[in-house]
A and B are shown apart, each in its own frame.
Chain A
Amino acid sequence: GEDVEQSLFLSVREGDSSVINCTYTDSSSTYLYWYKQEPGAGLQLLTYIFSNMDMKQDQRLTVLLNKKDKHLSLRIADTQTGDSAIYFCAESSYSSASKIIFGSGTRLSIRP
């Protein structure tokens, strides 16, 4: 079945860039997403990318998609303490269009 994998933890220094990586298995994926979960809250959509795109930029966020390697990354420029959260990678496809498959989440911590 479909699977989405990401590392569990990432620690970066404030002001540096954070890069969170994700791999997925479904070659028919149509949309790929990044969600952010702050402590005590639900998941909120940060950004998404359609599968025919390679890159999407939105202010401090840059999403890169390598369809050949089934690899998705999220880069956060100038990481701030408010960026501390769990970041979930997710994918959906026409074959499973009624479900979005989530990764386990990467906990991003910021050190001064």
Chain B
Amino acid sequence: DAGVIQSPRHEVTEMGQEVTLRCKPISGHDYLFWYRQTMMRGLELLIYFNNNVPIDDSGMPEDRFSAKMPNASFSTLKIQPSEPRDSAVYFCASSFAPGTASGNTIYFGEGSWLTVV
């Protein structure tokens, strides 16, 4: 299996620029998650989707962040405009229904390492 695929792996951008992070979940998984990891805050859940529909976006920091899932095999996380404090590793993850007998774990991508200067 290919696993969760994220792109780009690394991005350096200037403050004010738009950043788009991409994710291809594992085929068949109906949940998709976006996490952000920083030294200060650890691992934060930003938003998650079920069957392409956003279920909980309460973790999205502010209006500069948006996420979409136009189909079952693709999602984007967009930051516009980007700021230095957005520098972090952004993880995409996917699963079957977490916490149930059949889908009791989520699988993470390798992460997108974002630096905003």
Chain A contact residues, CB within 8 Å of chain B: 30-31, 33, 41-45, 48, 88, 92-94, 96-100, 102-105
Contact = CB atoms under 8 A, between A and B. Distances in A.
- Please list the 4 inter-chain residue pairs (A to B) with the smallest Cβ-Cβ separation, ordered nearest first: A92-B99, A42-B108, A97-B99, A104-B42
A98 B108 contact: no
Counting contact residues on chain B (CB < 8 A from A), the size range is 20 to 34
Contacts, number: 57
B5 to A, nearest CB: 11
B71 interface: no
Contacts of A102: 42-43, 45
Contact of B99 (A41, A45, A96, A103): A96
B34 interface: no
B89 to A, nearest CB: 9
A98 B31 contact: yes
Contacts of A99: 45, 48, 56, 98
A74 to B, nearest CB: 15
26 contacts: A30-B99, A33-B105, A41-B110, A42-B4, A42-B91, A42-B108, A42-B109, A43-B43, A43-B91, A43-B108, A45-B107, A92-B98, A92-B99, A93-B99, A96-B99, A97-B98, A98-B50, A98-B97, A98-B98, A99-B98, A100-B99, A102-B42, A103-B42, A104-B42, A104-B43, A105-B43
Nearest to A91: B99
A31 B104 contact: yes
Nearest to B107: A45
A43 B93 CA distance: 9
B106 interface: yes
Contacts of B93: 42-43
Given A41-B111, A48-B105, A92-B98, 10 more contacts: A31-B104, A42-B91, A42-B110, A42-B111, A92-B104, A93-B99, A96-B99, A97-B97, A97-B100, A104-B43
A44 B48 contact: no
